Structure 1
Amino acid sequence: MRLPPTPRVLFLRELVGEVLRVAPLGRVIVAVDGRGVERFADALAEVFEEAGNDTFRASITDFHRPRADRTRLGPETPESYYRHSYDYRTLRRVLLDPFRLAGSTGFQLAAFDEVRDVPVESRWLTAGPDAVLIIDGEFLLRPELRDRWDASVLVVSAPEDPVYEADARPREHSDLLVDNSDPAHPIRA
């Protein structure tokens, strides 16, 4: 299916082209970092699919830690939210590492339902050798995750999270900076 050539689609096609030039073969993992970037990541996935790629979508929000774990040392603060909100070990174990292995290795796109505060019973999925995984959410360019991505897009917003900025310096470590303040006309930041 060919998407209509809107300014947004044309911009996303350029991004997809850049990612595929860097990682033309094998499985590709793209991080879309920022708050409220789900729609941008969904649109990027549509353009990858338009280009003929088997594409999967995940969100870091589906890898939260249980509320009791996050607040065991007291109420959530910006610092504790940054440090303890997400279960990166499970993210790597059930999604990133198995996805990277290719072949018939299964992976899961979600592990925890934050709203219900319970683990998710996910289906194990498999994909072809040249599949694309797009994962969205905040804090994806933190030091312990940076090397997991073939490409990273930082959707800049104001204000940035000061704890994240100080610890991770995401602007310095992203491959592509995008200003999506006008979703119909995203531009390079």
Structure 2
Amino acid sequence: MLAARAVPVARVSAGDFLRGRSVRLEYGHDDPDSMYDLWYDFSALRREVLDPLLPGGRHTWLPRLRDPHTDRSVRATPQPAPPGTVAVVDGRFLTRDDIRDGFDLIVHLDVSASALGRRLPADETARVSGAWQRYLAEADPVKHADLVVRFDHPDRPAIRPA
């Protein structure tokens, strides 16, 4: 829809702004608190994507920081951001206090614990479910979102009434 209106878009995934594996896995592969506290480099996401797009920013943005498979910097080339560029960012934990105010609009995909469990690989269930429950309790994404979409069935998303 933005492209149809000729609005420039910086499309980014928070999963491309992970910290190094040695930091993410310092407390083991299954620790939910590590996932919540250590996995994502939200400071880098702000520094390299969100803040540069603000009025008076440098008007270039970095599409990726780290390759999660190789655990190395991707050395991406900064992309130009014409005035009016909109950042569209997907990812987990984006209504946390340390990143939330970097967004003008937040859409929260509300997923039940059972739906989350069905979607996760067995080796990720404990870590992700525990981190997600902590996120729901501490960040209260439903409270901070501008739009909440029930997303238990991705083929049938439903906007939740306010």
So what's the TM-score if we normalise by structure 1? 0.69
CA distance in 2, matches of 1:78, 1:111: 23
CA distance in 2, matches of 1:162, 1:75: 17
CA distance in 2, matches of 1:89, 1:101: 19
The correspondence for 2:91, drawn from 137, 143, 146, is 137
1:170 matched to which residue of 2? 141
- Aligned letter for 1:142? R
Q: Give deviations 1:139-181, integer Å, cap 9, x for gaps.
A: 0001111111000000111117211112111111111001234
Percent of residue pairs identical:
31
CA distance in 2, matches of 1:74, 1:186: 34
Q: Give deviations 1:126-150, integer Å, cap 9, x for gaps.
A: 1221121100000000111111100
Q: 2:106 matched to 1:106?
A: no
- How far did 1:118 drift? 0.8
Contact 2:95 2:144 in 1 (8 A): yes
2:64 counterpart SS class: coil
Q: For the structure 1 residues 53 and 70, does the alpha-carbon distance in structure 2 shift closer, same or farther, using more than 3 Å as the test? A: same
Contact 2:59 2:82 in 1 (8 A): no
Q: For the structure 1 residues 137 and 103, does the alpha-carbon distance in structure 2 shift closer, same or farther, using more than 3 Å as the test? A: closer
Q: For the structure 1 residues 115 and 91, does the alpha-carbon distance in structure 2 shift closer, same or farther, using more than 3 Å as the test? A: same
Contact 1:49 1:55 in 2 (8 A): yes
2:60 counterpart SS class: coil
CA distance in 2, matches of 1:131, 1:49: 11
1:80 counterpart SS class: helix
2:79 counterpart SS class: coil
- Aligned letter for 2:144? H
1:135 counterpart SS class: strand
- How far did 1:53 drift? 1.2
- How far did 1:187 drift? 2.1
2:46 matched to which residue of 1? 92
Return 5+ residue gaps in structure 1 as ranges.
Answer: 1-46
The correspondence for 1:68, drawn from 4, 22, 36, is 22
What CA RMSD, in Å, does the superposition of the two structures yield over aligned residues?
1.9
Q: For the structure 1 residues 184 and 101, does the alpha-carbon distance in structure 2 shift closer, same or farther, using more than 3 Å as the test? A: same
2:61 counterpart SS class: coil
User: How many pairs were matched up?
Assistant: 143
Please identify, of 101-110 and 130-139, the stretch whose mean Cα deviation from structure 2 is larger: 101-110
1:2-151 pair list within 5 angstroms: 47-101=1-55, 105-151=59-105
CA distance in 2, matches of 1:119, 1:78: 24
